[in-house]
Amino acid sequence: MLDRDEYVEQAYLFELLHERMGADYPLQDLLQQARHELLATTKLPMAVDFLLAELKHFGEMSRGMKRLAHYFSPFQSFLVEEAEKDRGRFDMKTAFRILQAEAKYRSESESRQGYFVFQFEALCRNRLHYDRGLAAISEDPAYDADWKGWILVVRRQLGLVDLADLIYGRSEEYLSTRRRKLGAQMSPEAPILFGLQEGKIAWANRHKDPLLLFAALQRHLHYPAVPRLDPVDTTEQIVPQLQRRMERLEMRIKLMEEEGKQGIDITKFYGAMPPRGDSHPNSLGPP
């Protein structure tokens, strides 16, 4: 885990990249500009210089992030790598929004439960590859050995077992329920990773859409919400379309008025005719 200042600057960097990409500037120019706006007492300016060099030589930002695994987490590299692929609807702007929200949450909280729920929801909402995504999440330095082992279990059992059941089985609510049923103290079979409230919410959302589970955790425990895709703004296209339609209507109304008065003079629609007697330039002359 990095210092709080590093995550604050990371959130600022990804926010700048997301906002300025809308102006159709190359990513190389954006990194070059943002490098001078970052706090010089952090390591992020040096990381940006390295990313800029990799981007110029190989055309991939994720390549440099993977080589800086001690600074950027594997999940951050995974998001950028997925955004750089030609196929799929996951673009770089969405990746920067998710990275900005995650870095901001890391600078404000140290909840591993919040980290995992946020990262898993990012996979779900953007339909990213679960196998590679969960493998990248398990390598995050924020998780210890118990968390890493459980994330790999989720990776193997996802699709066979509900995520809510997997969370409930590692919660204090599940342990306390079993103790009440057995009427005796018992040690947990596996490390407890979630609290009472998370277990109750997971139990209430069993066999439901996982997005409902994420929304409930955000409402009750203030977990961070994953940014969604920006709706396409068609306002700029509407005005030219209306203008063209108005021009067609004006032309039709004008033709109808002429027809009602004296008829339509179709000669004005003729092209320029060559003078009589002049031969066509491509003609072969008189037979």
Given a cut of 60, is residue 285 above it in pLDDT?
no
31: Cβ contacts below 8 Å, ≥ 6 apart: 17, 48, 51, 52, 55
Distance CA 94, CA 114 (A): 20
Q: What is the mean pLDDT of the chain?
A: 86
Q: Which of 54, 223, 188, 57 is nearest to 66 (CA)?
A: 54
How would residue 255 be classed by pLDDT, with cut points 50, 70 and 90? confident
Higher pLDDT residue, 19 or 78?
78
pLDDT for 275 beyond 70: no
The maximal CA–CA distance of the chain, rounded, in angstroms, is 117
Among 94, 100, 92, CA closest to 16: 100
Q: How far apart are CA 50 and CA 67, in angstroms?
A: 9
Confidence of residue 219 (pLDDT cuts 50, 70, 90): very high
Total-model pTM: 0.78
What pLDDT shows up at residue 287? 47
Average pLDDT over residues 182-202: 84
Question: pLDDT, tens digit, for every residue of 195-217?
Answer: 999 999 999 999 999 999 999 99
133 φ, ψ to 5°?
-65, -45
Find residue 161's DSSP bridge partners.
Answer: 158
Quickly state the pLDDT bin for 283 (edges 50, 70, 90): very low
CATH match for 1-108 among 2.60.120, 1.10.1400, 1.20.81, 1.10.3470 = 1.20.81
Percent of the residues in the chain that have a pLDDT greater than 90, as a whole number: 59
For 20-56, the pLDDT digits (tens) are: 886 677 889 999 999 899 999 999 999 999 999 999 8
- What six digits make up the tokens of 110? 């140290």
Residue 235 has a pLDDT of 67
Output the DSSP codes for 211-234: HHHHHHHHHHH-PPPPPPPPPP--
Q: DSSP character for 26?
A: -
Q: What's the number of CA atoms in the CB half-sphere (13 Å) around residue 168?
A: 17
The encoded tokens of residue 99 equal: 């990275």
pLDDT of residue 187: 73
Average pLDDT over residues 135-151: 95
Domain boundaries, the chain: 1-108, 110-231, 235-263
Angle between helices 112-126 and 92-108 (to 10 degrees): 170
Residues 6+ apart with CB under 8 A from 42: 3, 5, 6, 9
Q: Which of 74-88, 89-103, 149-163, 171-185 has the lowest mean pLDDT?
A: 171-185
pLDDT of residue 277: 57
